[in-house]
Structure 1
Amino acid sequence: MKYVEVIMSIKDEGEFFMKVLQKNEFLQKSNETLASILDMLEKLPVVKFDEIEADKAVLVIIDMTNGFAKEGALKSDAVKELIPRICELSEICDRRKIRKIAFADCHTDESPEFDAYPKHCMKGTAESEIVDEIKNIGGYTLIEKNSTNGFLEEAFRKWLLENPDINTFILTGDCTDICVQQFAITLKAYFNMNNKRARVIVPLNAVDTYDLGVHDRNLMNVMAAYNMIINGVEVVRDIVE
């Protein structure tokens, strides 16, 4: 039977402890687990805007830039297809006077992120700009970010301090398993650390990721959704009027 050796932990100083996974058993168990997760995701609720206090909420649009939706090394049709839904949510938030933030990936040549990803969203290029459809609606606070986690940006932490009444965050954009997941979990952990209750809501029809090699879009979306759920993020099917 085939197996995979995985380094699990350091047993003693300088000594690695190895755990052997039996491949067939692992795959069988994983299939059962994935089936259970899918059953759970199929039962996710739909949230209504009427349940949300508009003056305490913000729509967060993550990385809906040309460099992920329309051009460049990391463009994805799945991300492009998010544009109409996020535009709808943006217009709903304008009608309800819900604040909005838009994060935009924006890098320089010095970015260490390019050790892991191809060059993308370079500062001063069209790739780093929010897509026109969302930009034309406007009304958001633009925050440029130089890492996958927008929470780390000083401009966002300043915004949080200047808006202490906000306790509901509606997250949209890309990528579900990278920037969205990192921001959602860090944000939730921040409020937990400060003993404050906050809703971090992720409607699954307003986030997505990409297909590339072993990075299977559907699998990554499912696992990211599950990981956010077990970290206290409110993952839902949709958010509607």
Structure 2
Amino acid sequence: MKIVEKNEFIQKSNDTLLSILDMLEKLPVVRFGEIEADKAALIIIDMTNGFAKEGALKSDAVEELIPKVCELSAICDKLKIRKIAFADCHTDESPEFDAYPKHCLKGTAESEIVDEIKNIGGYTLIEKNSTNGFLEEAFRNWLSENPDINTFILTGDCTDICVQQFATTLRAYYNKNNKRARVIVPLNAVDTYDLGQHDRNLMNVMAAYNMIINGVEVVEDIIE
């Protein structure tokens, strides 16, 4: 990659960001009535205490997602839509801690799904030891055992890390197998964190754009 001149880069990037924001302002709203409930699944990604309520990676923005995820979870129960909840769950030896502070250690409260979502229940819990839940054998087994599923509604955190990785890998999986599937990400049901150069708003916008250009169906909201 060529190192660009800063002023030129900032000017061009500003124009690009404005264009992306214009696109995101026009995203559609999806209704559950448009979805075949018996062929759909709600995927709850990392709505754990370690991202929402306590620990080194706790984010207020993630905590604020809890009511929306609970709302969608309850709707899915009513419609008999299957649900999966991924939960970060690491050992002390996790190489991921070379990139991130220690978080969500197995057996601690941080690795538990938040009580509000846990109390609704009804999901298959899959623990994950990396940022990409698709890589977990338990998920691939679930996918094989549920071949009728062709619509995935993704919620949780972080938009630019675990959500984006899972969404684009899932999309690529169906592309590779020449199968039609919808991978839907409602923007008001995902979020990320603010920390230094990791600007939450910028990361959300760029993650949404990257998912869109990879065939993920990014929408404003999903409602009854």
TM-score band by shorter chain is over 0.9
Report the equivalent of 2:93: 110
What is the SS of the residue equivalent to 2:202? helix
What is the SS of the residue equivalent to 2:165? helix
Q: How big is the shift at 1:223? A: 0.1
Report the equivalent of 2:161: 178
- Cα distance in structure 2, aligned partners of 1:193 and 1:157: 15
Report the equivalent of 2:59: 76
What is the SS of the residue equivalent to 2:4? strand
What is the SS of the residue equivalent to 1:117? coil
Q: How big is the shift at 1:141? A: 0.1
Report the equivalent of 2:202: 219
- Cα distance in structure 2, aligned partners of 1:133 and 1:201: 23
Candidates 100, 109, 115, aligned match of 1:132: 115
Report the equivalent of 1:198: 181
Specify which structure has the higher proportion of strand.
1
String of CA shifts for 1:55-81, please: whole Å, max 9, x gaps. Answer: 000000000000000000000000000
Report the equivalent of 1:4: none
- Cα distance in structure 1, aligned partners of 2:47 and 2:16: 32
Report the equivalent of 2:133: 150
Report the equivalent of 1:235: 218
- Cα distance in structure 2, aligned partners of 1:167 and 1:194: 13
How many matched pairs? 224
What is the SS of the residue equivalent to 2:104? coil
String of CA shifts for 1:164-188, please: whole Å, max 9, x gaps. Answer: 0000000000000000000000000
- Cα distance in structure 2, aligned partners of 1:78 and 1:120: 17
Q: Give the partner amino acid of 1:58.
A: A
Q: Percent identity?
A: 88
Q: How big is the shift at 1:21? A: 1.1
Candidates 22, 32, 38, aligned match of 2:21: 38
Q: Give the partner amino acid of 1:86.
A: V
String of CA shifts for 1:91-139, please: whole Å, max 9, x gaps. Answer: 0000000000000000001100000000000000000000000000000
- Cα distance in structure 2, aligned partners of 1:40 and 1:235: 11
Q: How big is the shift at 1:240? A: 0.3
Candidates 59, 69, 92, aligned match of 1:86: 69
Tell me which structure has the larger Cα radius of gyration.
1
Q: How big is the shift at 1:236? A: 0.1
Q: Give the partner amino acid of 2:46.
A: D
Q: Give the partner amino acid of 1:45.
A: P
RMSD: 0.4
Unaligned runs of 5+ in 2: none
Q: How big is the shift at 1:20? A: 3.8
- Give the structure-1-normalised TM-score: 0.93
- Give the structure-2-normalised TM-score: 1.00
Structure 1 residue 24 corresponds to structure 2 residue 12: no
Report the equivalent of 2:146: 163
- Cα distance in structure 2, aligned partners of 1:188 and 1:30: 27
**Runs of 4+ with >6 A deviation:** none
Q: How big is the shift at 1:22? A: 1.2
Change (3 A) 1:20 1:142: closer
Unaligned runs of 5+ in 1: 1-7, 9-18
